[in-house]
Amino acid sequence: MEELRLCFPIDDIEMKQAIEKEFGKDVTFIEERSATGMEILLVAIVPIVSLTVEIIDFVLTHLVKKKEKEEPKKKERRIEVYKSRIVLYEYPPDEAIRILKKVYNK
C-alpha cells in the first residue's frame, strides 16, 4: 500500500477539514517543520491502494489553481514524494494529473 502525503500550513483549517471529510479515519496527521525550519506544517498521510479518480479530483480541487483566480492558500499546499515536496499550484490540471500518474502509477 502506498501513501499520499499532503503538506500544508498548520493553520490551514479548511484543508484539514477537507481531508478529514474526504478520507475519514484512514488519515494520520503529523507536525513537521519546513525545510527552512521557519514554518510548522501539518502532513496528512493517506493510505492509498492506487491513484483513483477521487484522489485526482481532490488534488485538483485543493492544490491546483483555477484559471486566472488567485488562491493564496493553495500556494502553500503540496504533496510530498520521496522526501521532496511538490507544489502543484501553478501547473495546469492536465500537467498536475500527469505528475500524479507518474508518481503513483509506476
Smallest CA-to-CA distance from 76 within 33, 41, 37 is with 41
**pLDDT, tens digit, for every residue of 42-99?**
999 999 888 899 999 999 999 998 877 778 888 899 999 877 888 999 899 999 999 9
CATH number for 100: 3.30.70
**pLDDT, tens digit, for every residue of 10-19?**
999 999 999 9
pTM of the model: 0.86
Q: Which domain holds residue 33?
A: 2-104
CB atoms under 10 Å from CB of 57, counted, come to 11
Residue type, 102: K
What is the structure's pLDDT at 91?
A: 92
Number of domains in the chain: 1
